Each structure stands twice: as C-alpha cells, then as structure tokens.
Amino acid sequence: MLKILVTDDIAKTGVEVLESMPGATVDVRTGLSESELLEAIADAHALVVRSQTTVTDKVIQAARNLRVIGRAGVGVDNIDLESATRHGVLVINAPDGNTIAAAEHTFAMMISLARHIPVANRDLLAGNWNRKRFVGVELRGKTLAILGMGRIGTEVAKRAKVFGMNVIGYDPFLTEERALSLGIVKASLDDAIAEADFITVHTPLTKETHHMIDAARLQTLKRGVRIVNCARGGIIDELALCDALRTEQVAGAAIDVFESEPLREDHPLRSFDNVILTPHLGASTVEAQENVAIQVAEQIVRVLKDEPFDHAVNLPSLSAEQKARLTPYLALAEKLGLFAAQLAQGAPSNIRVTYAGDASAPDGGYLTRTVLKGLLGFQYRGEINYVNALQFAEESGIRVQEVRETRGRVYTNEISISFVTDGGLHQLTGTLYSESGPRIVELDGYPIDMPSEGVLLFTRHKDQPGMIGRIGTFLGDAQVNIAGMQVGRRESGGEAIMLLAVDRSVSPDVIGQIASVDGILMVRAIEL
C-alpha cells in the first residue's frame, strides 16, 4: 500500500484525487511538529505541502520510501531541493494555478496602499470620520517597476496597463519583443527602480534575489515610493524597509510574505499606519486552491503510477512534442544501461553515451539519465533514479560524456554506450526498429542483431571448432532452451563472440561450467 502524506491544508478536491488512486492511503495531518513530521514521513511514498511545512534534509533522510514531494503552489523555497535531488526524490509543483490570485492580491495591495483603505477602515470603525486624513494618490500616470516578469509579474503588468500606469519590467529573461507586446519598457534593475512611484517584486527567493532591495538600494529610490511584496519574504530587507519608512523615504509598503512566517508579534513592520500586512494570502482564493490542489494531486498520482508527469522542479522540463518523441527511446536507453551493467565487471569510471541520427535531438539529458538509471541502478540496487543519476555519477567520480552525431553509422537512429571498468573497455549499440522495438545491434565492436529483452548469454571466446556445441550442451543439460543465436568474429581463429537468447535464467553453476571451457575468455548472463 502506498502512503500519501499531506501536511498542509489543501483543497478537498485535491485530497479526493489522491484518495481515488487504487492501492494508496491518504493521511492528512496538518500542523505537525518536527518530531511528528519525522515520524509520519518515515513510511510515506509521497508528501504534499504548501508553504508551511519545511522539508529539510533531516525530513528527507527520515523518509525511507519517499518518491515525490508535491508543492500545491509555486514557491519551493521551503523544500531542500539539493537534498531531495541527492536522495532521488522528485519535487513537483503547481506553477500556474494561483497566478491570477497572486496578481489580483498584488493589485488589491497596491490600490489599498494608494488609497489608505485598511487604515481608513480601522479609523472609521473606531468611531471617526476623517475625510482629510486619507487623501490618496491615483495609479494612472504613475510608474510601476515590476521586478520579475514571470507568470505573476506579467499578469500584474497587464492590469497596470489597464489602469494607465507606465510599466517598467526587470527580468533577465524578458526580451524586447515581449516587453513591446505587453506595452512595457524593459530595463536593468537599477534603472527600473530609479524612477518608480510603485515597485512590486515577483521573483522567486534565491541567492541572487535575497535582499535584492536592501538598505543601499532603498536610498537610490524616488522619495515617496510605495513598495509591494507578494512574492517571498527576504527579497526586500525587512529591517532596512522599516528604516526607510521611518525616514519617509518610502511612503508606504504592502507586504504579504515575510522573512520568517508567521510574522512575530513584536515585528517592527506591525507598527506603521502606512504599512499593509496580510498573512501570506496571495494564493488564498477558492479558485486558486482548487487549481493547485488538483494539479499537484494529479501529478503525484501519475508519478506513483510511473506515468509521464509535468512540472518537475528538479528535472529539466520538456515540451509535449519532445516527450512524445523521446518516449520510445527511453525503453532502449534503459535496456542498454541494464545490459551494460551486467556486461561490466566492477563500476565504470568513464561512460560515454553517443546519440546518432533520430536519437540525437536535444532531450534535456533524459536519455543519459535513463542509461545511468539502468547502468548504475543495477549496480547500486535501485538507489539510482532519473532524479539523482547525474548527481550520483558526479559524486562518485564517474565521468559521463554525451556525444551527438547527426547520422548513425549503420541505422537511422543509434544509441551507443562505451565505458571503462577494471575488466577493460566495453561498447554496445542499440537501435529502435519501428516494427520490432529496441534491439542490440553491436557488442564490443561486433555487429549483431538481438531484441533487447529477456535472458541473454554472452560469451567472448577463441574462434575454434566445438565452442558452440559445448556451450549448447551445458545449457541443454540444465534444461535451458536456446531461442536465438548470434555469432561474430573478425578473423578465422581469432577472437569471437556469441550472444544467445534463452528461455530462462542461467544458474551461476552453469555459468561456471561454461567459463571453465578451454578457450572461453568471458561469459555473462544478462537479464533485461
């Protein structure tokens, strides 16, 4: 039975999607302490969180069966991605389900700030009628700097244009064309903020964006600027912002996210009339919560069922077209990796994977990850998967090289693996026949043609009379039926190879008997 642990409040509809998975139990336990989380995660196969659960290295290490962490939302800064990747745990998120909610919240904050709505409301409820005290400013004609022009930044820009604002966008990935099509100006960070009346941040929190607006930058801003943060606490230096509010360098701020959440009771940000604070509500709409919960739940189910999934955070993303083209090659790549693992004697130190012809299109490294999953996963008992294969190889000092060639040497598509072990250099090539699927077509330099499935027996031996007969006799005596055979040699009397497809596993005893035949140089049983 698979266990799916949900540790933050997600919409019921998402939980229902998880519950509909046959063979899975769903355990919803919110508000856990660290020790309770460590206990609950120990036997879980999937974990679903929002921003409240902090998924540390310790939590990931405690999770013996964990395959996937799903974030019902965008930001994954509460998840130790490096640790997840190292432990082969896939992290997925729901990147677009709350975009509109967050953009609308940003706008609500900006308008509330411009028109003093929260403080005027408080004042009126206290029994006052102060019309003069709350004169605001219009958005029309003002300059808005948007830092981070991704999904939310873009939706904020569209709304700002409708309000008649001049919008300047800063984002390393913003092109002139896209800026033009949105009717905004693209600028550097310092140019974007220099003339802004309003600034809103919409980047993730990373090493680069941490304190992107710090004390020094706050001093370069136009006096009386208003600042909104509905992205992540820590992008703006909170204490420096408080100083700038005190000196009235900043006329107001609207903050939804904080360096430490929940915001502590005595935090200085709580003391300003011109500061609007909301408790991380950007994504808190009925619609957004349903979207992200359903989206993440559907992907979790797909991951657990070994079906193709979207929105992986710690794997490269592929287009639908790339995925469709890649799918048949994945089977070939994994079989080649498995074959290589059983051919090798000892761990490989140098692996080169060559993609040729139709197999050579860019694939975000998925095929090499798959080869490594087969090769290293076999040798290291399945601890290796797509997520950690490259990292594992790197940490183990295994050099992995990818080569792409426009044409195959013989076939329209070829994947070749060569690797060095203590036992020497090995090389094998596979291809994908449209009618008969993955096939092995070259082994240690000898051309062959064998389906890459079932049980195979591979020998390298001296090319001398009687070898095939003697091997056949051992197999016959052990009741192992031969289904197919390929032989090859370079010159008469030199070295030869034989690859047999057999109907069932060959025992170590029989392998030992074959190995003892005079003239046998190497024998391997390979199960694919």
Ligand X SMILES: O=C(O)[C@H](O)COP(=O)(O)O
Contacting positions for ligand X (CB under 6 A): 50-52, 73-75, 98, 280, 282-284
Question: Which CB atom, from 160 or from 428, has the smaller least distance to ligand NAD?
Answer: 160
Q: Is 50 in the site for ligand NAD (CB under 6 A)?
A: no
Report whether 84 contacts 103 (CB < 8 A).
no
Among 102, 167, 227, 428, binds ligand NAD (CB under 6 A): 102
End-to-end distance of the chain based on CA atoms, in angstroms? 27
* Contact call for residue 202 and ligand NAD (CB under 6 A): yes
Residue choice 14, 88, 118, 148 for contact with ligand NAD (CB under 6 A): 148
254 to 5, 209, 236: CA distances (angstroms): 34, 18, 12
Nearer Cβ to ligand NAD (147/333): 147
Known catalytic residue: 504?
A: no
The CA–CA distances, whole Å, from 370 to 338, 429, 441 equal 10, 15, 19
Give the total residue count for the chain: 528
Cα–chain center distance at 136: 45
User: Is residue 107 close enough to count as binding ligand NAD by CB under 6 A?
Assistant: no
Is residue 289 involved in binding ligand NAD (CB under 6 A)?
no
Residue 56 · residue 259 · CB < 8 Å: no
196 binds ligand NAD (CB under 6 A): no
Nearer to ligand X, 96 or 463 (CB): 96
Euclidean distance between CA atoms 50 and 8, whole angstroms: 6
Which of 280, 369, 461, 524 does the annotation list as catalytic? 280
Residue 131's Cβ-count burial label (10 Å; 0-12, 13-18, 19+) is exposed
Q: Report the residue number whose CB is nearest to ligand NAD.
A: 150
In the complex with ligand NAD, the residue whose CB is nearer, 255 or 353, is: 255
Active site residue 461: no
Torsion of CA 19, 20, 24, 25, to 10 degrees: 20
Closer residue to ligand X, CB minimum distance, 288 or 343: 288
Nearer to ligand NAD, 159 or 426 (CB): 159
State the DSSP H helix or E strand holding residue 292, giving kind and residue range, or none if neither: helix 286-304
Q: Given the rule CB under 6 A, which of 141-149, 176-184, 299-307, 372-380 is the region that contacts ligand NAD?
A: 141-149
Q: Which of the following is catalytic: 16, 34, 248, 261?
A: 261
| Partner touching 153 among ligand X, ligand NAD, none, CB below 5 to 8 Å by kind | ligand NAD
Nearest to 469 by CA among 522, 527, 517: 517
Binding residues for ligand NAD restricted to 7-46, rule: CB under 6 A = none
Active-site residue, 87 included: no
d(CA 168, CA 182): 10
Closest to 224 (Cα-Cα) out of 199, 207, 259, 200: 199
- Answer for which of 197, 238, 256, 414 binds ligand NAD (CB under 6 A) is 256
Site residues (CB under 6 A) for ligand NAD? 74-75, 95, 98-99, 102, 147-153, 170-173, 202-204, 206, 208-209, 230-232, 256-257, 280, 282-283
Q: What residues are annotated to the active site?
A: 232, 261, 280
